[in-house]
Amino acid sequence: MAGFSVLLMIDSNPTQAGKPEFIRVEKAIELFGIGRTKLYELMTSGEVKAFSLRKRGQIKGTRLISYDSLVEFIENQQPVSNL
């Protein structure tokens, strides 16, 4: 049952049911307007926490991103100055 409730939080809209603990790549792109390539760079570098759900030996899985980690990364960015 615990796994089922986590899956519900993954796809939930943060404004409707509180913030989710994890979101999928597509949802992160939609919510934060960040590009897919940049998002994967941030996950690879460890600047944004993420993991992949998959069975042992399986190559492809479902990539989940920590919502809090992504928000923290964005909040810590310096604003772009308009010259």
The pTM is what?
A: 0.70
Closest CA to 22 of 14, 60, 36, 30: 14
Collect all residues with Cβ–Cβ distance below 8 Å to 19 and sequence separation of at least 6. Answer: 67, 68
pLDDT tops 50 at residue 77: yes
68 within domain boundaries = yes
Residue 3 or residue 52, greater confidence:
52
Q: Which domain holds residue 32?
A: 2-75
83 within domain boundaries = no
pLDDT tops 70 at residue 11: no
Six-digit token string for 61: 């899985």
- Find the CATH number of the domain harbouring 8: 1.10.10
24 within domain boundaries = yes
Six-digit token string for 29: 């792109």
13 within domain boundaries = yes
Structurally, the chain folds into a number of domains equal to 1
End-to-end CA distance of the chain: 54
What are the CA-CA distances from residue 37 to residues 21, 24, 56, 58, 63 (Å)? Answer: 22, 14, 26, 23, 14
